Amino acid sequence: MLTALSVQAATLDDTLPDDLTEMSMEALMDIEITSVAKKPQKKSAAAAAIFVITNDDLRRWGVTSIPEALRRVPGVDVAKIDANKWAITSRGFNSRFANKLLVLIDGRSVYTPLFAGVYWDNQDVVLQDVERIEVIRGPGGTLWGANAVNGVINIITKSATDTQGDMVSVTAGDEVRGIGVARHGGKLKNGINYRVYAKYSDYDEAYSSAGAHDDWRSGQLGFRSDWMQTDRDSITLQGDYYRGKAGQQVSIANGPAGPSPGTINQVIDDTETDGGNLLFRWSRMTDKSSSFTLQIYYDHVGLDGKVLYEDRDTFDMEFQHRFQWMDKHDVVWGFDYRFTHDNTDNNQSFELDPSSRSVNLYSTFIQDEISLQDNLHLTLGTKLEHNDFSGFEYQPSIRIAWGMTASQTLWGSVSRAVRTPARGEHDVILRLVPPPTADPGIPVYAEGDDGYDSEVLTAYELGYRLNHNNIWSTDVAVFYNDYDKLRTLDPSVDPGPPATVRSPFDNNLSGETYGLELVSQWQVGPGWRLNASYSWLDMQLRLDSNSNDTLSKSSEDASPSSKATIWSAFDFGNKLQFDAALRYVGDIEIYETSIDSYVELDLRLGWEARAGLEFSIIGQNLLDNHHPEFLPDFINTRPTEVERSIYGRVTWAF
């Protein structure tokens, strides 16, 4: 049992080395994580399916964004819709508006309650400042609350203490027209460590035979300060501000829908985005067996496009207390209050009624890790919360981890999680543009419904980890998910006048998913490590007998049944590095349109000219000139295809 508690669970004092090929397999398995239990624990002992992307992974993979890094995580589906839109989910139900995956940046939720999803193009974090990304596949609602249904992605940035000095990075190529980052870190006389940064990104448009117009640009400024006020107290203050413009072509219906010319217009839209956040965190160790954390943040999101408009302010206050009780109990409990206010401008395609609304969320949780034996730990917990749409919700879980030997861990869990209604599912009137084969010839609307209820998941998971002589390791997880009250759109004809098709949101879908996720590492020799991952998923969804929804059930085909990746990290002499990754993604089908499976190759060659100065050349998606990955839903934007990309990068830390 622990004899002392960490002062700060979200920021670890021990940082990872610059090159993970220098770490032993045992050290890699024992990287400390915080997302599974809201406290530091060894990755090898966690009773959940978790994958950790380190800062060195981000550097050696040559990625330019968080979504690109997530492509290698087993069980996570990552697909590009166009140059600035992504469909990302965990364990099925993929969509641009994927609503069962909670995403956090330093404990701040970036999950928008407008449509229950993430604006991925707005999460343009400085990758050099990321300490690690912890990806939990499976429910995390007991600790993180509603919407952490199929997974949690927790992006944790470095302490300002670990980013002292200056850093400049420039990336440029064909599809990545330019990414520039400048950062300065220092220390004030009163002991406060700080960093400030600026970042600018410019991406070219993707491929479309009909024209893409989906290039995008963004600029961002930010800071972070960390202060060990006393031996017991640590304080963090950080913030960001960004502005951007993302292009798209969107189909907008004017007048009565139907096959006659001019009723559907393809409109060029440069969506403007802006936003910012400010976060304060205070952690205090009250004694050797007790500590607490108080976190407060404010977040603003602005989105102004031809269809979607959102102006949202969020205030969140969270308190967490951890203590040791009766030697065998490690208890974490806390409460949270979140206030959200939005304003919208209605248009002919998108309307919210009321156009402005304030929403309150209250929650509390408790989790107890019980040491049954030194190598056997049982974790019990639940989350209780109340929201303005579905009322009271509860999310209990039970987890057990057995250290069979020093190198083997067996774990299992049973959890309940909910996906609460989004603001749009209660209040929206959205003019849909169906594909020609489904166009009924009269206007079609998706409508919010006050009776729309939460989606419910009961999840069963089993996992096994093995480290064989610090040469080879494997991590396997299997799961069975039982869903109830999934979202449907049940159309009915309103004779008018004028005649329309009205499709209110309802809960008439249920089903099961089954899956297997496997990750293995092999230390081939000094300076050479091979990694491989494989995912298999099967989805079986069923409509209730009273439903006439013909589209929602098709989401069972929107995620590939199989995915596999193998990647190599090799260090030559003379400070040369060579990284290669081969990815396979199975075929999918969206609204009766098939997208073929594909295989792609990513390569990186890096050279450390001297300490702190690195040059690299990176190639992505090298096996095809271009290939499609996904299609839009709800809002009919023009999909484009991912193109082959080659770019160079220079990073100088001094």
5 — pLDDT class (breaks 50, 70, 90): very low
10 — pLDDT class (breaks 50, 70, 90): very low
Q: What is the pTM of this model?
A: 0.94
pLDDT score at 262: 41
Q: What is the pLDDT of residues 384-394, one digit of tens each?
A: 999 999 999 99
- Spans of all domains in the chain: 20-653
Smallest CA-to-CA distance from 248 within 619, 642, 650, 632 is with: 632
Amino acid at 550: T
What radius of gyration do the chain's Cα atoms show?
A: 24
Burial of 525 (0-12, 13-18, 19+ CB in 10 A): exposed
Rounded to an integer, what distance in angstroms lies between the CA atom of residue 277 and that of residue 108? 9
Rounded to an integer, what distance in angstroms lies between the CA atom of residue 100 and that of residue 77? 12
pLDDT score at 13: 41
Can the peptide bond before residue 497 be classed as cis, meaning omega within 30 degrees of 0? yes
List residues bridging with 476 in a β-sheet: 464, 518
Helix and strand numbers, DSSP H then E, in the chain: 5, 39
List residues bridging with 180 in a β-sheet: 170, 200
Rounded to an integer, what distance in angstroms lies between the CA atom of residue 14 and that of residue 31? 10
Rounded to an integer, what distance in angstroms lies between the CA atom of residue 146 and that of residue 383? 9
Q: What is the pLDDT of residues 260-314, one digit of tens each?
A: 434 678 899 999 999 999 999 999 999 888 999 999 999 999 999 999 899 999 9
Phi, psi for 348 (deg, rounded to 5): -70, -15
What would the two tokens of residue 553 be? 């059930």
Query: Is pLDDT of 259 > 60?
Result: no
Phi, psi for 499 (deg, rounded to 5): -70, 135
Tell me if 179 sits within 8 A of 171, measured CB to CB. yes
What would the two tokens of residue 224 be? 């972070």
Query: Is pLDDT of 648 > 70?
Result: yes
What would the two tokens of residue 508 be? 């008439």
The HSE-up count of residue 97 (CA atoms within 13 Å, CB side) is 16
Rounded to an integer, what distance in angstroms lies between the CA atom of residue 473 and that of residue 479? 21
What would the two tokens of residue 496 be? 């008018």
Identify the three-state secondary structure at position 498: coil
pLDDT score at 11: 38
Smallest CA-to-CA distance from 122 within 58, 218, 221 is with: 218
DSSP one-letter code for 610: E
22 — pLDDT class (breaks 50, 70, 90): low
Query: Is pLDDT of 15 > 70?
Result: no
pLDDT score at 229: 85
Rounded to an integer, what distance in angstroms lies between the CA atom of residue 423 and that of residue 104? 20
23 — pLDDT class (breaks 50, 70, 90): low
- Which residues, at least 6 apart from 280, have a Cβ–Cβ distance to it below 8 Å? 235, 236, 237, 295, 296, 297
3-class SS letters over 355-390: CEEEEEEEEEEEEEEEEEECCEEEEEEEEEEEECCC
Q: What is the pLDDT of residues 531-568, one digit of tens each?
A: 999 999 999 999 999 998 988 988 899 999 999 999 99
Pairing between β-strand 101-105 and β-strand 472-489 as defined by DSSP bridges: unpaired
Burial of 402 (0-12, 13-18, 19+ CB in 10 A): middle
Rounded to an integer, what distance in angstroms lies between the CA atom of residue 351 and that of residue 365? 35
Query: Is pLDDT of 31 > 80?
Result: yes
E-only strand ranges, 34-75: 41-42, 49-54
Tell me if 362 sits within 8 A of 340, measured CB to CB. no
Tell me if 539 sits within 8 A of 511, measured CB to CB. yes
Residue holding tokens 């079609």?
444
The better pLDDT of the pair 537, 5 is held by 537
Tell me if 139 sits within 8 A of 148, measured CB to CB. yes
Query: Is pLDDT of 258 > 70?
Result: no
497 — pLDDT class (breaks 50, 70, 90): confident
List residues bridging with 315 in a β-sheet: 298, 339
Burial of 200 (0-12, 13-18, 19+ CB in 10 A): middle
What would the two tokens of residue 188 be? 């004030």
From residue 616, alpha-carbon distances to 65, 126, 170, 649 in Å are 16, 18, 11, 5
Identify the three-state secondary structure at position 484: strand
Q: What is the pLDDT of residues 109-155, one digit of tens each?
A: 998 888 888 999 999 999 999 999 999 999 999 999 988 999 999 99
What would the two tokens of residue 154 be? 């927790």
Rounded to an integer, what distance in angstroms lies between the CA atom of residue 127 and that of residue 163? 12
- Compute the average pLDDT of residues 174-196: 96
Q: C-alpha 397: how far from its chain's center?
A: 22
Q: What's the mean pLDDT when you consider all of the chain? A: 92
According to CATH, the topology of domain 20-653 is: Maltoporin; Chain A (2.40.170)
495 — pLDDT class (breaks 50, 70, 90): confident
Q: Go through 582-616 and write b for each residue having 16 or more CB atoms within 10 A of its CB, e for each that does not.
A: bbebbebebbeeebeebebebbbbbebeeeeebeb
Rounded to an integer, what distance in angstroms lies between the CA atom of residue 125 and that of residue 123? 6
440 — pLDDT class (breaks 50, 70, 90): confident
pLDDT score at 2: 37
Smallest CA-to-CA distance from 345 within 371, 395, 310, 386 is with: 310
Query: Is pLDDT of 12 > 60?
Result: no
Smallest CA-to-CA distance from 26 within 40, 13, 44 is with: 44
DSSP one-letter code for 424: H
Rounded to an integer, what distance in angstroms lies between the CA atom of residue 522 and that of residue 529? 6
Q: What is the pLDDT of residues 58-69, one digit of tens each?
A: 999 999 999 999
- Compute the average pLDDT of residues 29-38: 86
